[in-house]
Amino acid sequence: MSVLSNNVIWNFLHPLAEVFADLYQNELKERNQKYQEDFKQKYLYLLSNGVRRGPFKGLKYPFLSSIYSAFYPKVLGYYEMELHPILDKLKSKKFNSILDIGCAEGYYAVGLAKMFPNSKIVAYDIDPLARQRTQEMASANQIRVGDRFELKEYCTANDLLGLDPTSRHLIFSDCEGFEGELFSVEVISHLSKSDFIIEVHDFEIPGLCDRLYAGFSATHLVELIKSIDDLYRYRYIEDPELLSLNLTDQIQLLAEKRPAQMEWLYCTSLPLGI
């Protein structure tokens, strides 16, 4: 067959192939959406009464969705369970203020506001929908947005440098790689008496975790925490109702669908004399 014949056949079939490919992709998308909706309805009885367990047990969710993260693990009480021991440790501390940088729909901002009723909370997110959802979640949990609970758009290094360095603050950060710019040597030194929980995004900026680890080590005790793969999160289930479900559904309910293994840095101020 000549090159000319091949070109004629290709020119004829190519548009048809694109049409059928689009139809196939749309069909797959519709089937997946239906499956996800059916799955949510199947387990609605587990998802519609707020957070079931964990450090934020009882936190009310006024909507059946989350922003930028998995919803099911949050209301089931297993979201980022790698951090639960850290949050339990923090309960005994007092913080002048708590900053949640990248607050999404308010899971941590409102959860921490309930855990630390005497601390000022400042929740940051550049997404207007995230700030709106955080305000709704705060209201659903009887927390008034105002003097003690603030919502802001941007957090900069200058905002952190404006915090009182003689007081203890908690900085909770999940800002998609911006942590590399935010936590400069100057900021770390200025907040040497404060605690940090930083989700580090090495898949965005390779080597970032190592750089921040070294930067904090001069003034803080630094603990590196690694995420558990979705395939094995079911091993940590303690809820009898969840344990009674089939394994495939357990895995799907707890899946956090991260693009890579994640790491967090938990940084606490060095004791005097070290």
The pLDDT tens digits of the residues spanning 170-216 come to: 999 999 999 999 999 999 999 999 999 999 999 999 999 999 999 99
Residue 23 lies in domain: 3-42
Residues 33 and 123 in one domain: no
In a domain, 229, yes or no: yes
Instruction: Give the pLDDT of residue 274.
Output: 47
pTM of the predicted protein model: 0.89
Q: How many domains does the chain have?
A: 2
Q: How many angstroms separate the CA atoms of 216 and 267, rounded?
A: 7
Q: Mean of the pLDDT values across residues 10-17?
A: 69
What CA–CA distances, in Å, run from 195 to 115, 188, 233?
A: 16, 10, 27
Q: Nearest-CA neighbor of 260 among 229, 225, 223, 224?
A: 229
pLDDT value, residue 49: 85
Higher pLDDT, 99 or 14: 99
Q: Are residues 169 and 182 in the same domain?
A: yes
**Domain-located, residue 274:** no
pLDDT on residue 20: 67
Residue linked to tokens 């934020």: 56
Q: 179 or 22: which carries more pLDDT confidence? A: 179
| CATH number of the domain enclosing 234 | 3.40.50.150
Gap between the Cα atoms of 240 and 235, Å rounded: 13
Q: Quick one: 14 and 68 in the same domain?
A: no
Q: What is the mean pLDDT of residues 223-229?
A: 98
54-109 pLDDT, tens digit per residue, is 999 999 999 999 999 999 999 999 999 999 999 999 999 999 999 999 999 999 99
Residue 227 has pLDDT above 90, yes or no: yes
Is residue 167 situated within a structural domain?
yes
213, 108: one domain: yes
